[in-house]
Amino acid sequence: MMLNNWGPITLLCTVLLAYVAVTHGQHVGLLHHAIAIIRGKSGVTGNLRFRENDQGKVNIRGTIEGLIKGPHGLHIHQFGDLSLGCQSAGGHFDVHSNGSYHGARNDSNGHTGDFGNVMAGDTGVANVYINNSFVELHGGGSIVGRAVLVHAGRDDLGQGGNDKSLETGNAGPPVACGIVAWDD
């Protein structure tokens, strides 16, 4: 007769084990996708999608249209404040406290938000394919709620030989920006 009481407990344990098996290795309850809708006064528009993979890398995919042919610096900035357009987004996002400088994407001494260049073709479209191991969608390196800026010119990756290069990469003024927001 006591064995009949084990039915609900067995069912509960089975459900819990199934839940653990399905969610093993996942950030349970955390969102893994973000998007930035980019707009600029000069007609530059785009959408960037951010996805954090199981290894903690953030994959960035999308297109930016309306650019002048050539390379354009792409950076995550400190703030998601676009009240004054792209100008109120602050400096380049950086989680380092060691006085890091501007650098290339995945440069351990560079700003966390330095994504290097995107290349616009003859039609003014830049297809963006970036894998970044320094930014996150969660935690201290999170880019969610921060601004992404597309700049008028080429980012020299901190190799320009002057102070401005070490600060901004000499990429010129922003031509478009957007805020990284959750997309799940």
The tens-digit pLDDT sequence of the chain (184 residues) is 444 554 444 344 333 333 433 343 444 456 689 999 999 988 999 999 999 988 888 999 999 999 999 999 999 999 999 999 999 999 888 887 666 666 666 666 667 778 889 999 999 999 999 988 788 898 888 999 999 999 999 988 778 888 887 787 889 999 999 999 998 6
Backbone angles phi, psi at 13, to 5 degrees: -65, -40
Calculate ∠ Cα 90-40-66, nearest 5°: 130
Domain ranges, ordered by start, for the chain: 33-182
Of 108, 105, 43, which Cα lies nearest the Cα of 74?
105
Give the whole-angstrom CA distance, residue 58 versus residue 150. Answer: 18
Residue type, 76: I
Q: Buried b / exposed e across 73-108, counting CB within 10 Å, b at 16+?
A: bbbbbeebebeeebeebeebbbeeeeebbbbbbbbe
Backbone angles phi, psi at 152, to 5 degrees: -65, -30
CATH number for the region 33-182 comes to 2.60.40.200
Neighbours of 16 (CB within 10 A): 10
Is 0.85 surpassed by the pTM of this model?
no
